């Protein structure tokens, strides 16, 4: 992204030339990374950007092609959430993040594939078919922001937006060998993000490098009066010079290297941590005993919130309607039966059950209390360290034909990413190695609330001394 | 068995989801397995802990009472599956 901006500035590349080339590559590719490509809009905006650059009025993002996950509203461009129920939905407004990117001159090239309503870790529950991993097209790119990750890794856009409720930016970033940031809850507006689990959802940037990720984050962050959970405070620009890592304290929790972790992933992540040590960071062993309950807590809270958020899809105001045998309730039930896929129904059922009379205390209330314990545990840990490091996911990208039938084993893939969502903390996934089969491995860094500067700074320092982010599929 | 078949049917009704027999069976199996896993939470003593509903501590966010633009009627209706004379049409609710 910064490289493209530099090429624009020395006129060795023009936006229309780049966008034209990307559109041709998207058209001829087989990754299924995009649900909708806005060819006309992208070419129009490339023309505008070219004019601005010629007049010298452009900034870093002018003419930069960005892909947007298809659960983020784009005015006049279909936003489907990869669901049948929204297959024909055309928003009448832009999400705040899209508006901010457009105002900076970025080009929205298209809308990327995801698990239906962002519920999944493989981009296989999309009603438009699975997205594929550019490192090996027989494998999953991860999910739910799998289309965004695949598009960035394959160089079909300079950067992308994803959303992360339990790891949906970081895990696909890890599977596709790119950099992905889940920002602090409340630092990026959710206005225009189709809600899945409102207390956990956060939009964030994905790019090849930590620096590019920082540039995108800078463009989208900040208070938005249209989102009442957006936190009003100062949001200083991220320094793109990599910081001195000398004396930075990195906590490494035992629980992040427990059973279920692939030995290859463990090895690469351990080496990544040693790289930081080589740069002068102090490695501090820590313990976070409550995070082992994270998956259980998450799948109660996220499904409870989802069951409530998805009640709006009733075939009345938008989306697809299926008439039943006559009455209104029947129309609702028929619309939802035909409009939602199996995983979405499963989560609505689980969430409805967890909130229903007689079970509320045992599930939802209990989970919300354990969530407090997890947050407190992080707070205590951050008195002893500046960052926490570990793997992003327990495994590398696996084959699309190796998909597990049991939903619980898929849920357990989120074991390392979920805690940051429960506590609202910012977290970054960085490429830190490759498996024996050549699949990328991701390392996760977690920082205290609103310390994206420390997090992205560490990412830049790491990438200044390693080459994993430069290897292309 | 955490959740019985009649309970699955009841929850589906609450969630306004029409399920076929195969789905009822499948979801009963899936939900039992997932809820079984969630039992681990009962190991933790949470007496006296006030539950949180979100991760930031901001509440009651107000905006100044100023008039701003809103969607036009045609925009608001543009995605409605059925509408007539500026109104959304649904199956009859009151006899």
ipTM of the complex model? 0.95
- Whole-angstrom Cα distance, residue B66 to residue B47? 45
**CATH 3.90.550.10 applies to domain A1-473:** no
Strand-pairing partners, residue B88, are: B83
What confidence tens digit (pLDDT) does each residue in B23-80 have?
A: 999 999 999 999 999 999 999 999 999 988 777 777 788 888 999 888 899 999 999 9
pLDDT in tens, chain A (473 residues): 999 999 999 999 999 999 999 999 999 999 999 999 999 999 999 999 999 999 988 889 999 999 999 999 999 999 999 999 999 999 999 999 999 999 999 999 999 999 999 999 999 999 999 999 999 999 999 999 999 999 999 999 999 999 999 999 999 999 999 999 999 999 999 999 999 999 999 999 999 999 999 999 999 999 999 999 999 999 999 999 989 999 999 999 999 998 889 999 999 999 999 999 999 999 999 999 999 999 999 999 999 999 999 999 999 999 999 987 789 999 999 999 999 999 999 999 999 999 998 888 889 999 999 999 999 999 999 999 999 999 999 999 999 988 777 788 888 889 999 999 999 999 999 999 999 999 999 999 999 999 999 999 999 999 999 999 999 99
Instruction: State whether residue A366 sits within 8 Å of chain B by CB.
Output: yes
**Is A145 part of the annotated catalytic residue set?**
no
- Residue B75 to residue A316, Cβ atoms within 8 A: no
**Is A287 part of the annotated catalytic residue set?**
no
Q: How many CB atoms lie within 10 A of CB B81?
A: 19
- Whole-angstrom Cα distance, residue A331 to residue B50? 40
Which of residues 12 through 51 in chain B touch A, CB cutoff 8 A?
12, 14-19, 23, 26-27, 30-31, 33-35, 37-38, 40-42, 44, 46, 49-51
Domains of chain B: 5-43 (1.10.20)
Find the helix or strand (DSSP H, E) in which A152 lies.
helix A146-153
Alpha carbon of B20: minimum distance to chain A alpha carbons (Å): 9
pLDDT of residue B1: 66
> Phi then psi for A105, rounded to 5 degrees?
95, 5
- Whole-angstrom Cα distance, residue B58 to residue A461? 34
Tokens, residue A34: 């995009």
Alpha carbon of B65: minimum distance to chain A alpha carbons (Å): 12
- Residue B53 to residue A368, Cβ atoms within 8 A: yes
B50 vs A contacts (CB less than 8 Å): 369, 372
Percentage, residues of chain B above pLDDT 70 = 98
Q: Which of A83, A121, A144, A163 is catalytic?
A: A144
Among A388, A421, A463, residue whose Cα is nearest residue A165: A421
Nearest CA in chain B to A291: B41
B44 vs A contacts (CB less than 8 Å): 290, 293, 370, 373
- When pLDDT is cut at 50, 70 and 90, the band that residue B7 belongs to is very high
- Are A188 and A229 within 8 A, CB to CB? no
- Are A126 and A107 within 8 A, CB to CB? no
- Provide CB contacts within 8 A for B65, sequence distance 6+: none
**Is A168 part of the annotated catalytic residue set?**
yes
């Amino acid at each position: 992204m910064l490289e493209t901006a530099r090429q624009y500035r020395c006129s060795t590349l023009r936006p229309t030339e780049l966008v034209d080339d990307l559109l041709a590559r998207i058209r001829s590719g087989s990754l299924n990374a995009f649900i909708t490509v806005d060819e006309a809009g992208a070419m129009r905006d490339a023309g505008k950007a070219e004019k601005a650059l010629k007049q010298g009025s452009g900034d870093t993002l002018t003419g930069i092609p960005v892909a947007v996950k298809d659960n983020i509203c784009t005015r006049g461009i279909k936003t489907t959430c990869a669901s049948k129920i929204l297959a024909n939905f055309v928003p009448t407004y832009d999400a705040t993040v899209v508006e901010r990117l457009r105002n900076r001159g970025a080009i929205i090239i298209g809308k990327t594939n995801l698990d239906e309503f962002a519920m999944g870790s493989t981009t296989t529950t999309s009603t438009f078919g699975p997205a594929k991993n550019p490192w090996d097209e027989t494998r999953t790119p991860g999910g739910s922001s799998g289309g965004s990750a695949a598009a960035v890794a394959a160089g079909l856009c300079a950067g992308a937006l994803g959303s992360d409720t339990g790891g949906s930016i970081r895990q696909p970033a890890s599977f596709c060998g790119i950099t992905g940031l889940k920002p602090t809850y409340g630092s990026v507006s959710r206005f225009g993000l189709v809600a899945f689990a409102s207390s956990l959802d956060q939009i964030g940037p994905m790019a090849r490098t930590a620096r590019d990720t920082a540039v995108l984050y800078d463009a989208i962050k900040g208070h938005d009066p249209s989102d009442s959970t957006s936190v009003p405070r100062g949001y200083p620009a991220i320094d793109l010079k990599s910081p001195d890592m000398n004396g930075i304290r990195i906590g490494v929790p035992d629980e992040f290297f427990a059973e279920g972790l692939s030995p290859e992933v463990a090895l690469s992540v351990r080496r990544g941590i040693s790289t930081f040590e080589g740069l002068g960071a102090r490695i501090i062993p820590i313990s976070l005993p409550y995070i082992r309950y994270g998956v259980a807590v998450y799948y109660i809270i996220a499904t409870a919130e989802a069951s409530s958020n998805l009640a709006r899809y009733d075939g009345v105001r938008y989306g697809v309607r299926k008439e039943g045998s006559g009455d209104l309730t029947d129309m609702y039930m028929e619309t939802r039966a035909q409009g939602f896929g199996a995983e979405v129904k499963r989560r609505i059922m689980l969430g409805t059950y967890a909130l229903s009379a007689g079970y509320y205390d045992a599930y939802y209330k209990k989970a919300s209390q354990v969530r407090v314990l997890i947050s407190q545990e992080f707070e205590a840990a951050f008195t002893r360290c500046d960052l926490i490091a570990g793997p992003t996911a327990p495994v590398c990208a696996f084959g699309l034909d190796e998909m597990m039938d049991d939903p619980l084993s898929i849920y357990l893939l989120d074991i390392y990413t979920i805690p940051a969502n429960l506590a609202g903390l910012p977290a970054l996934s960085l490429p830190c190695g490759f498996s024996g089969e050549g699949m990328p491995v991701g390392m996760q860094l977690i920082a205290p609330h609103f310390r994206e500067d420390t997090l992205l700074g560490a990412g830049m320092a790491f990438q200044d001394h390693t080459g994993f982010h430069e290897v292309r599929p | 068995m955490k959740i019985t078949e009649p309970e699955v049917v009841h929850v589906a009704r609450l969630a306004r989801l029409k399920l076929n027999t195969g789905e009822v069976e499948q979801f009963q199996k899936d939900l039992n397995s997932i809820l079984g896993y969630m039992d681990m939470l009962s190991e933790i003593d949470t007496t006296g802990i006030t539950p949180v509903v979100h991760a930031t501590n901001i509440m009651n966010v107000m905006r100044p009472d100023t008039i701003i633009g809103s969607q036009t009627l045609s925009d608001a209706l543009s995605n409605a599956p059925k509408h007539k004379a500026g109104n959304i049409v649904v199956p009859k609710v009151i006899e």
